[in-house]
Structure 1
Amino acid sequence: MAWPDALPRRGLYLITPDTTDSLRLFSQCLRVLPARPALLQYRNKSTDPALRLAQAQTLRALTRAAGVGLIINDDVALAAQVGADGVHLGRDDGDIAAARARLGEHAILGASCYDQLPLAHAAIAAGADYVAFGAVCPSATKPNAVRAPLSLFADSAALGAPRVAIGGITPANAGEIVAAGADMLAVIGGVFDAEDPLAAACALSAGWG
C-alpha cells in the first residue's frame, strides 16, 4: 500500500460540495483548511470537464499550500492531470489496479465498499490504500444510500488499512463512529452546511485527540 509519510492516516476527510460556482467553492475550502483535515476530496458530478479541471487545479494549489492531501473522486485521468495525491473509486468507476498503473506507486487509492466487507477485502487485495463504508447515518447528499452498520469497522480491523466512514456524519454523532473503529470521517454537509464550517471541521478533527 502507498501512503505518503506527510499525510495522516486518521482524521477528518472533507469532501467538496457539487457546485459550478468556483469562487464560492474555493472560499468554502479556504475557510475550513485551517482545521487541517487529513484529506480533501474533490467531488463534482454536475459540471463539464473544463470546469472540473479548472476547479481541481486550484484546489490542488490550495491543498498543497495547506499541507492537505487532495483526492479526486471517480476520475483517474483528472487526478493524473492535476497531480493529485490520489483517487477514490466507486463500484463502477474503474479498476484499482489500472488506477495504480496510471498514478504510480505513491498514489493513495480509495474504494467505496458500501455495506459489504467482501468488497473491502477485494479492494485491499487489488491494491487499495483505504476502504470506505457507508452510509453510516442517514445522508442528505445520498438519501437513498444503503445503510452500513458500525460493526463493519470492528469486523474490518484485520485489513490493516484506514477505514473511512461516510454518510450523515456531524459533530454530534462523530464520537460514536470513531469509537466503533473508523479511522477517518468523510463529511460534506456536516461541515460545509454548518453555521460555522470551521468550528464544525475542528470539532470533527478533534475526535482523535
Structure 2
Amino acid sequence: MKFPQTGLYAITQTDHKTIDMIIEEVAAAIRGGAAVVQYRDKNPIDAALLARELVKLCHRRDVPLIINDDVELAVQTGADGVHLGKEDGHIAEARKRLGADAIVGVSCYDSVARAIEAEREGATYVAFGRFFPSSSKPLAAPAQIETLRQAKRALRIPIVAIGGILPDNGAPLLEAGAGVLAVIGGIFDHQPEQSARAYLPLFKEEPVLP
C-alpha cells in the first residue's frame, strides 16, 4: 500500500488498554477517516499478536499499517512499513528487510537537513515535530512552523507534522507545507470515530502556501 500525500495519520494509544480495546479504537478511527495507522507501543503486552490483528484490520479497510521503531516486528507481522527515530536503524537496512515497496518513515524533529538526507537515502516520508505541547511526548524538543515551509521547498516526499495537533490548530501546519497530520491523543483521548472525523475538514482544500 502507498503512503498518502495528505490525510490523517492515527498513532495508537496503548497504555492501560487491552488488545481488544486498542483494536476497536483503531477501527473507530478508520471509520472516522484515518488514512494511515501506526502501531506505537512502549509497554507491549503481546506486540506480535496486536500488530497482526491491526494489520488484518487495516488491510480490510485498505489502510496502511506502519510499525514504530521495530523493523523485525514489521517483517514478522506483514506490516506495510516502519517508522524510524534517530536511534532505530538505517533506511537501507529497513528496506533490505522489508522490501523495495515498503513504507519507511523517518523522524526529523526540527531538522530540514536530516529530512533532505532521509529523502536522498530513500525514505517514503519524513515527520517533523512536536509542534504543540504533547502528553504523548512531553519532553520532545519543539519544532518550528518555518521548518515546514523550508521542507516543502526542499522535498518531494510527503511531509508529516506531529505533536499536540488538534482540529483547531492543524490548519497552519498544512498551510506551511505539511500534507499529513499525525495524531495520538487528539483521536484516542475521547471517542475515536468522532474525533478523527473532526480533522477531515482540514484536508478538504489544497493548502495555499504563504
Q: TM-score of the superposition, structure 1-length normalised?
A: 0.92
Using the TM superposition, give the Cα deviation of residue 35 of structure 1 relative to its aligned residue in structure 2, in angstroms: 2.3
| Structure 2 counterpart of 1:150, from 115, 130, 145 | 145
Using the TM superposition, give the Cα deviation of residue 206 of structure 1 relative to its aligned residue in structure 2, in angstroms: 2.6
The alignment's C-alpha RMSD in Å is 1.3
Aligned match of 2:122? 127
5+ residue gaps, structure 2: 205-210
Q: Is the 8 A contact 2:11 2:183 kept in 1?
A: yes
The question of 1:42 aligning with 2:42 is answered no
Amino acid at match of 1:179: E
Distance 2:183 2:55 in 1: 19
Q: How many residues align?
A: 202
5+ residue gaps, structure 1: none
Q: Is the 8 A contact 2:148 2:177 kept in 1?
A: yes
| Structure 2 counterpart of 1:27, from 3, 24, 28 | 24
Structure 2 SS opposite 1:41: strand
Distance 1:123 1:88 in 2: 12
Amino acid at match of 2:185: G
Aligned match of 1:108? 103
| Structure 2 counterpart of 1:160, from 156, 160, 164 | 156
Q: Is the 8 A contact 2:159 2:178 kept in 1?
A: yes
Aligned match of 2:10? 14
The question of 1:197 aligning with 2:157 is answered no
Q: Which structure 1 residue ranges, 4+ long, deviate > 2 Å from structure 2?
A: none
Q: TM-score of the superposition, structure 2-length normalised?
A: 0.92
Aligned match of 1:95? 90
Distance 1:9 1:83 in 2: 22
Using the TM superposition, give the Cα deviation of residue 30 of structure 1 relative to its aligned residue in structure 2, in angstroms: 1.6
The question of 1:73 aligning with 2:73 is answered no
Q: Is the 8 A contact 2:166 2:186 kept in 1?
A: yes
